[in-house]
Structures are given as structure tokens and as C-alpha cells.
Structure 1
């Protein structure tokens, strides 16, 4: 059987893609810091270029890279310092107030269910004893088990520390030499294929860049909204929970759900149950409407085509196949696949096969 030149090229690209996927899966742990750094470099390179343009090209790229990376690392540190108080304060409160919380839940849920003819009785004494034992045991054993795992699994701890050190270093060099790296990759593309390849990658870059920039604005706007909304109800942990909810919206629906649960749990531990439910319903209900009807259409736009369900599926599918590295490459791969589907669809509708 003879293959045409076009079939040979398609077969070669398919085999190359399969080899790349197999390598990605086999070398996932080794590639993780470099993939993380590459994703951050892709997002931060426009900031470095913009900073260089503001100074009329007089600022050395080295200085621009150092400024941008330091600000980025500082922002990450601030996010971590905001999330830690949530865990540090809520876990002891859960352990101390769980019996009272169960009593309040029994007094609230049982009468409400009885209105529908459903009689439910809880063995609160046994439930309290078991939950208290579980929380006390796990809380007391958390740090010893952590230290033990660090001692027994020294390679894991060493890998974690190595990634923490390696990612900023790799990010620095990628930001510094991003244009050189991109040009070296483009040199591998045959000259006759460059126009089509440039058009394809340009469209994919536009889709992904617009999505990431728009999603970042959505996350920051909603973080401010949830923080202010929870603070108006007097919640002590309004700022960390609001910021966490906004940033976790990078994963559509899932991040919102986790933030809602955290806010409800904090409200039940701090307020009466009625006020906690009202707070969550008012802040998160209005926030979801605002984000869906106003913020996301304005900042992200329908024309991008990355549907929230497609984003969730891509994150889960790539994460299942390639682990943490798969989660990092899910959105870029989705953008490329989206452009490929658009072009294939346009080619099909313009072909004789469709019109025959």
C-alpha cells in the first residue's frame, strides 16, 4: 500500500504526538518543575515585555525579569498566608464546637423534616463521642505522623524541597530567554509549513491568552466581592475565605463549591445557624449570579469557546492520565484542540463532502 505525501506527514505527526504523550506520562515527576515554570513563564512573559516597553526599552530584561518574578513570588506567599489562618482557626474550632453544632443541627433539621412527614432521630451521644475521638486522635497525631513520613520518605521530602527551589530558578531562565526558546522551537518546523503553523499557533495563543487574562480578572473581582460580602456579615475569616473562593474559581464550579462549604462551616461555628445560612445564601447566591451574568461574559466572553464544563473535563482527564503535570497542560492542550476542531469543522462545511 502506497501512502501519499500528505498521509505520510499526518502519520508522522500522529506518531510524534504519541511519543510525546508517552514521554510526558513516563517522565511526569521529572518534568513537573519545568512544566510548572513553563506555564508561569507563558503567563508572565507579557508582563515582562510590557514593563520593558514602559521604560522605552532602556530597562535591561534581566531587571524586568527579577522585578516580575519577585512580585509573583510575593503574591504567592500572600495567598498562602491568607489560607493558613483558615485551617489554623477552623480545625480547633471544629473540634471544640462540634457537639454544640450537632445540637443546633438537630434542632434545625428535625422540625423542618417533620413538616414533610419525615421523622428522623439522631443518636447524638454516640455521634459526638465518635467525632470527638476521631478529631482529637487525628489532630494530635497529625504532626507526629507528618514528621515520621518526612523521616521515612526522605526522597519525597527532598523532591518537594527540590521543586520549591527549582521552579523559581527555571522560571527565571525561561522568562529571560523565552523569545530564544520559542525561536529554537519554531526552527524545527519546515519552512513550507510555517505559514499554516504560525496561523494555527497564533490562534491557539490568542484563545488561551484571552481566557487566562479574562479568568484572572474574574478571580480577582470575585475574591474582592466575596471578601467584602462576608465581612459585611461580620465573619472573622471573611478575607481568607473570600480570597480563597475567588482564586479557586480557576476550576469552575468546584472552587465555588469548596469556598461555599468553608464559608458555611465558618458561619456555623461563629454565628447562629440561621444567620450562617442567610449569609451564604445572600453572598454566594448573588455572587454566582453576578459572575455568570455580568463578570464572566464581560471579561472572558462567549467567543473564546472554552466552556466551563470543557475546562472541568480537561482538568480531570489530563490529571487522571498524567497526574499533576496533566493538570498544568490541560488548558493549553484544550486551547490547541479547540482551534483544531474549529478548523476541521470549517474545512468540513466548506468541502465538497458536505455540499454533495
Structure 2
């Protein structure tokens, strides 16, 4: 047993950089789990600054100074927050209230339809089964109502937290954008000067994560806006609320599109029944999902994420369970980062030399010391 453990340590931890990488990953996990709530505003600011960095670089490409590009980007960000708070959120809140007010009528109609099933299909479903479903539905709705009441009684702490985020996060975003080069240089000063494995992982992940995150945000906005316009033209009730739900559904691959189909279809059915308008809505929603998967995604994501669908679903479940919304949003980049780390992990030098001699591994170009130093000197 000790020999097996010794061989494993020699194979995977014989390199000094591998040990440093393990320590870094452990510290990052410990900090995230123990201080994640406290550092949430800073993490949110880092994520938003990372999203806006592309706009800053594009403005600098037009010849604008760094401070001017950061200021313009920050003003656009603050303007988006203002529009969301004073126009989009009030409309969504009113539509949510209208939907909750209409729920009793929808439930009554659904109950009438369910009670007809035992008469039409007595061999498939019984009256007892229908009654059990109705009782379970009433119980779940009662729990939801109780949760909403508890939430309303705790409004003051929630509002204080929202106010903190509204003030603190924009300030953090501004300074992360303004001093990104200095922050990266300061963090790099704690790392060894010669770090080929970390540089290799960074080179592999930097462009891919930037492409994925920014592309995903654009996909959310495009799908949400197109869905809202389509639902409004069709006269669907709660068009903005449903449009936001469809836009956010693209965050969760495979599962999101299937889950949001249910409320869209239910709202359309309870509004029109089995009519032509309902089938127009279903057809329009199907076209939106098809265009998103077959046209929009290939255009936005220039670099494909080479992960198996099962790995993507597992990453969504694991990271979503650990970190909620942000875990779901970054599930694919985190899974890709794990894959890149495993692929770039330094083996024992003898085994690495044997693998390269056998042709199993090609010597990566980015391990050239000159290339490493050039890439480390580049700002993000």
C-alpha cells in the first residue's frame, strides 16, 4: 500500500510546480467555502469586470486612453443597472403579481381537466390518483405561499443586502477595470518566475473562458429580447416575464430549455386553450430554440467546448449545488478548467520523457521559456 502511494506521489507530485498548484487549489477551495458569502460582492465585481474587459479592449483599439475606455464602459454598465431597476424590474414584478393572482383560476381549470381524465381513460388513471395529484399540488402551493410570506417579513435585511451590492459592486467593477494590469502583476509576484504548467493552463483557458462567458451573456440578452418581442406580438400574457425566463434558461444546457417550455406552454394554454394562437406560440417558441441551438450558439462561441454532454450535466449539478446561480453559470468553464489542469499536469520527468519519445505527447510550444515570458508579460 505504501509503495503504491509512493509511486502515485512520485508520478503526480514530483514536480515543484505541481505541489504549488495543489496548494493553490486547496487554498482557493477553502476560501470559497468558508468566506464565500463575505467575499460575494468582490467575486461578483470580478466576474462583471471580466465580462466588461472585452469592451474596454475594443474601445482602446479605437485609440482611446485606458481611463477614458474604462469610464465609458463603466457608464454603460451603470446605465444598464438603472434601466433594469427602474423599468425592467417593476414590469417583471407587476407581471409576477398578476400571474400569482391568476393562479387560482388556472388551478380550477386544471382541476376540471384532471377530473375528466378518469372518465375518458378509466384503464390508465383512477379518481384516487387524480385526487392525490391535486392534494399534492395544493400542499406545494401552500408551501410556496408560506415561503413568500416569510420572505416578505424579512424584506429589510434583503433590501439592505441589495443596497450594499448596488453601491459596492459597481465601485469594485470600476477599480478592477481601471487597475487590472497592476492587480495581475501583483498576483503574479507571488508565483514562481518559471511556471510552464500554470502558463500552459492559462494560455488554454484564458481565451476559452472569455469567449464562453461573454458569449453566454450575449446569448441570454439576444434570446430574451427576441422571445419578449415574439411573445408581445402574439399577445401572450406576462410576455416580459416569460422572455426573461427563456433568456435565463440558456444558462443551463439541455435542462433549461426543457424546463422553461412548461410555463410558456401553460400560460399559452390557459390564455387561449387548444386554439390557433396557442399553436402559433408553440411554433414560435420552437423556432427560437432551434435558431438558438443551430445558428446563434455557433456564431457566438468561436471555440467549441470539448466536453461530453454527461460531463456538462454533471458539472451543472455539482457546481450549481455548491455555488447556486454562479455555479450553474460557470459550470462549463470550471469543468473545462479541470480538464485543462488534468491534461497539463506535470508527470515525473522520466515518464514524461518516455511518453514524448514514444510519440504519446508532443512537446508543447508554450513551454519555450521565451514564449512563456512573453505571454506572462502580456496583460489580459
Q: Please list the CA deviations of residues 195-228 of structure 1 after superposition, one character each: whole Å capped at 9, or x if unmatched.
A: 6544431321111112223333433333344334
CA deviation after TM superposition for structure 1 residue 23, in Å: 1.8
CA deviation after TM superposition for structure 1 residue 131, in Å: 6.5
Q: Give the alignment partner of residue 53 of structure 2, picking from 25, 42, 45.
A: 45
2:223 and 2:39 mapped to 1: Cα distance? 33
Contact 1:37 1:168 in 2 (8 A): yes
The residue number in structure 2 matching 1:176 is 178
2:75 and 2:54 mapped to 1: Cα distance? 13
1:344 and 1:299 mapped to 2: Cα distance? 30
Is 2:28 aligned against 1:26?
Answer: no
CA deviation after TM superposition for structure 1 residue 268, in Å: 2.8
Superposition pairs of residues 168-247 of structure 1, within 5 angstroms: 168-193=170-195, 197-247=198-248
CA RMSD between the two structures: 4.1
Contact 1:85 1:240 in 2 (8 A): no
CA deviation after TM superposition for structure 1 residue 177, in Å: 1.5
Q: Give the alignment partner of residue 71 of structure 2, picking from 59, 63, 76.
A: 63
Contact 2:56 2:70 in 1 (8 A): no
Q: Please list the CA deviations of residues 283-308 of structure 1 after superposition, one character each: whole Å capped at 9, or x if unmatched.
A: 33333333333332333256332556
CA deviation after TM superposition for structure 1 residue 90, in Å: 0.9
2:294 and 2:257 mapped to 1: Cα distance? 15
Structure 1 length normalisation: TM-score?
0.78
What's the secondary structure of 2:15's corresponding residue? Answer: helix
What's the secondary structure of 2:304's corresponding residue? Answer: helix
2:31 and 2:44 mapped to 1: Cα distance? 17
2:314 and 2:159 mapped to 1: Cα distance? 31
Q: Give the direction of change, closer, same or farther, for the CA distance of 1:10–1:119 in structure 2 (3 Å limit).
A: closer
Q: Give the direction of change, closer, same or farther, for the CA distance of 1:169–1:87 in structure 2 (3 Å limit).
A: same
1:321 and 1:133 mapped to 2: Cα distance? 28
Contact 2:220 2:248 in 1 (8 A): yes
Contact 2:307 2:336 in 1 (8 A): yes
Q: Give the direction of change, closer, same or farther, for the CA distance of 1:246–1:343 in structure 2 (3 Å limit).
A: same
Is 2:107 aligned against 1:98?
Answer: yes
Q: Please list the CA deviations of residues 110-157 of structure 1 after superposition, one character each: whole Å capped at 9, or x if unmatched.
A: 57746xx52533698998799679868965x67753343357xx5x66
CA deviation after TM superposition for structure 1 residue 311, in Å: 4.0
Contact 1:241 1:263 in 2 (8 A): yes
CA deviation after TM superposition for structure 1 residue 62, in Å: 5.2
Superposition pairs of residues 122-137 of structure 1, within 5 angstroms: none
Gaps of 5+ in 1: none
Aligned residues: 347
CA deviation after TM superposition for structure 1 residue 175, in Å: 1.8
Q: Give the direction of change, closer, same or farther, for the CA distance of 1:75–1:339 in structure 2 (3 Å limit).
A: farther
Superposition pairs of residues 327-346 of structure 1, within 5 angstroms: 327=328, 330-343=331-344
Bigger mean CA deviation after superposition, 129-138 or 91-100: 129-138
The residue number in structure 2 matching 1:296 is 297
1:71 and 1:305 mapped to 2: Cα distance? 36
The residue number in structure 2 matching 1:120 is 126
1:88 and 1:148 mapped to 2: Cα distance? 17
Q: Give the direction of change, closer, same or farther, for the CA distance of 1:166–1:310 in structure 2 (3 Å limit).
A: farther
Contact 1:101 1:268 in 2 (8 A): no
Contact 1:200 1:339 in 2 (8 A): yes
Contact 1:223 1:247 in 2 (8 A): yes
Contact 1:314 1:334 in 2 (8 A): yes
Q: Give the alignment partner of residue 146 of structure 1, picking from 131, 134, 151.
A: 151
The residue number in structure 1 matching 2:92 is 83
Contact 1:315 1:331 in 2 (8 A): yes
1:130 and 1:333 mapped to 2: Cα distance? 38
Contact 2:95 2:241 in 1 (8 A): yes
Bigger mean CA deviation after superposition, 287-296 or 169-178: 287-296
1:58 and 1:39 mapped to 2: Cα distance? 20
The residue number in structure 2 matching 1:351 is 356
Contact 1:35 1:325 in 2 (8 A): no
